[in-house]
Structure 1
Amino acid sequence: MSIDTEINNALNTLKKGGIILYPTDTVWGIGCDATNADAVDQVYKLKNRDDSKALICLVDGYRMLEQHIENVPEVAYDILKNTFKPTTVIYDQPIRVAGNLVAEDNTLAIRVVKHNFCQQLIKKLKRPLVSTSANISGMPAPKSFKDISPEILNGVDYVVNLQKEKSGSKPSSIIKLSNSGVVTIIRK
């Protein structure tokens, strides 16, 4: 399968409100359209995850980030330009995303991806993409495609056929960045 075919198949699934299993810049992820509350709910159910535990969103660049965060602090750009590994930032005041994605403290974790497949898919979707590790909540995140459980494989609407696609094997760093300027490292 070509990458273009896989992008189109994944895109069709996402536009119908489905959930996908796909390679990211970190680990294999479960994803859906971040503006579709029903799809987000399906991700929580599949992972058997408490919906008070927020999920991460992926965007294709700063412009999309700015469309979904009320006020991106200037320091965010400095942090993102100077990191060498995938870094997720938790921002205050998300906008135009599914309400069930937003944490109780009105924050949202977003990562600007540089991964080719993810960037192309998000550009075509024109919306952020939910990204959560492809495991049942409480179980270890799979280090490669072969480690993904049958419950996850059978629970998604589409499995992107890019198993040979190189993805990282570690989750991203997570930094919380409040509008007041406080920076907290959540995961190195």
Structure 2
Amino acid sequence: MKTDYPHIIEQLKAGATMLYPTDTIWGLGCDATNDDACQQVLKLKNRPSEKSFIVLVDGFPMLERYVPDFHPICYDLADLATRPLTIIYPNVSGLAPSVLAADGSVGIRITSDPLCLKLIQGLRKPIVSTSANISGEKSPASFGEIAQQIKTGVDLIIEERTTEQMNQASQIIKIGLNGQVEVIRK
């Protein structure tokens, strides 16, 4: 079955939530600038509102639109990463308030996954990428392990790579305003 990307993108523009394969694990997502859609993802995950989401972008130009205090060391970190790398940036702007942590920071990853790139480039905005599980439960390693509550709670399911095992979360690094680096998850 061929994925109808134009339809999916129109739905995301209208505030839909989705279940989709990412460059790391199965994710729940939506337009990262649409607070109503982000609130739906929070509700579906039963996640505390003070926890931020990870956001996917298609490259540095999009990243720099949302991170006004972009430190140049981030170019090197992204270039040297051997697997997907999420960087937590301070003082992010232009994203939905419910995407951000209480201190205004958010984790952003530049994805190279073809499916994710089609969604981001079609939407022309970042997308939320949070694990497809109820908050506090183990992240599913396959489509079959995703809770029925999640599958029935989203507006869209992108049924690509449903037979693949996907269980490697991204590395997470936090960047300070002065370029200090803190490893959160290896």
TM-score (norm. length: structure 1): 0.95
- Which string of whole-angstrom CA distances, capped at 9 and with x for unpartnered residues, describes residues 153-179 of structure 1? 000000002134757421101000011
Corresponding position of 1:107: 105
Tell me, in whole angstroms, the C-alpha distance in 1 between the residues paired with 2:2 and 2:51: 35
- Which string of whole-angstrom CA distances, capped at 9 and with x for unpartnered residues, describes residues 59-83 of structure 1? 0011100011012101000000111
After TM superposition, list the pairs within 5 Å mapping 1:71-150 onto structure 2: 71-150=69-148
Tell me, in whole angstroms, the C-alpha distance in 2 between the residues paired with 1:14 and 1:167: 26
Shift of 1:127: 0.4
After TM superposition, list the pairs within 5 Å mapping 1:156-167 onto structure 2: 156-164=154-162
Corresponding position of 2:58: 60
Unaligned runs of 5+ in 2: none
Corresponding position of 1:44: 42
Is the contact between residue 33 and residue 126 of structure 2 (CA under 8 Å) also seen in structure 1? yes
Q: What's the % identity of the aligned pairs?
A: 42
What one-letter code is carried by the residue in structure 2 that aligns with 1:57?
V
Tell me, in whole angstroms, the C-alpha distance in 1 between the residues paired with 2:73 and 2:43: 35
TM-score (norm. length: structure 2): 0.96
- Alignment partner for residue 181 of structure 1, among 164, 179, 184? 179
Is the contact between residue 141 and residue 165 of structure 2 (CA under 8 Å) also seen in structure 1? no
**Secondary structure at the residue paired with 1:175?**
strand
Is the contact between residue 23 and residue 167 of structure 1 (CA under 8 Å) also seen in structure 2? no
What one-letter code is carried by the residue in structure 1 that aligns with 2:50?
S
Question: When the two structures are aligned, how many residues end up with a matched partner?
Answer: 186
- Please give the root-mean-square deviation of Cα atoms over the aligned residues, in Å: 1.3
**Secondary structure at the residue paired with 1:44?**
helix
Tell me, in whole angstroms, the C-alpha distance in 1 between the residues paired with 2:100 and 2:36: 14
- Which string of whole-angstrom CA distances, capped at 9 and with x for unpartnered residues, describes residues 40-60 of structure 1? 100000000001011000000
- Alignment partner for residue 21 of structure 1, among 15, 19, 23? 19
Larger deviation, residues 156-165 vs 94-103: 156-165
Q: Any runs of at least 4 consecutive aligned residues in structure 1 with deviations exceeding 3 A, and if so which?
A: 163-168
Tell me, in whole angstroms, the C-alpha distance in 1 between the residues paired with 2:62 and 2:37: 20
**Secondary structure at the residue paired with 1:179?**
coil
